[in-house]
Amino acid sequence: MKDLDFEVRIPEEINNLVIQEEFFWLSQNGKERKVKLHDYQELYSVPHLYEYIMGKLQEKSHSVLSSLLINQVIQNGGNVEDLVVLEVGAGSGMVGKALTDLGVKSITGMDIVPEAAEAAKREYPGVYENYYIEDLTNLSEATRETLSTRGFNCIVCGSALGFNHIPAQAWAKAFNAIAPNSWVAFNVQKERWEDKSETSFLAWHPWVGEKNVFEIAQTHDYQHRFYLDGRSLYYVAIIGKKLGNISQS
Strands (E), 65-201: 84-88, 106-111, 130-133, 154-157, 183-189
Q: What is the pLDDT of residue 163?
A: 73
What average pLDDT score do residues 129-142 get? 94
Give the span between the Cα atoms of 134 and 112, in whole angstroms. 5
Q: What is the pLDDT of residue 240?
A: 98
Decide if 166 contacts 205 (C-beta within 8 A).
Answer: no
**Residue 49 scores a pLDDT above 70:** yes
Cα first-last separation, the chain:
47
Percent of the chain with pLDDT over 90: 90
149, amino acid identity: T
Residue 236 or 19, more confident: 236
**Residue 45 scores a pLDDT above 60:** yes
Decide if 60 contacts 225 (C-beta within 8 A).
Answer: yes
Q: What is the pLDDT of residue 59?
A: 98
Q: What is the pLDDT of residue 125?
A: 98
Q: What is the pLDDT of residue 99?
A: 98
Q: What is the pLDDT of residue 27?
A: 98
What average pLDDT score do residues 29-55 get? 96
Residues 85-119 have pLDDT tens digits of 999 999 999 999 999 999 999 999 999 999 999 99
Q: What is the pLDDT of residue 3?
A: 76
Q: Is 246 exposed, middle or buried (0-12, 13-18, 19+ CB in 10 A)?
A: buried
Burial 188-215 (b: 16+ CB within 10 A, else e): bbbebbeeeeeeebbebbebbeeeebbe
What average pLDDT score do residues 130-135 get? 96
Residues 149-187 have pLDDT tens digits of 999 999 999 999 977 789 899 999 999 999 999 999 999
pTM of the model: 0.96
9: number of Cβ within 10 Å: 10
**Residue 2 scores a pLDDT above 90:** no
Domains, the chain, with CATH or none: 7-56 (no CATH), 61-242 (3.40.50.150)
Give the span between the Cα atoms of 158 and 238, in whole angstroms. 10
For all residues of the chain together, what is the average pLDDT? 95
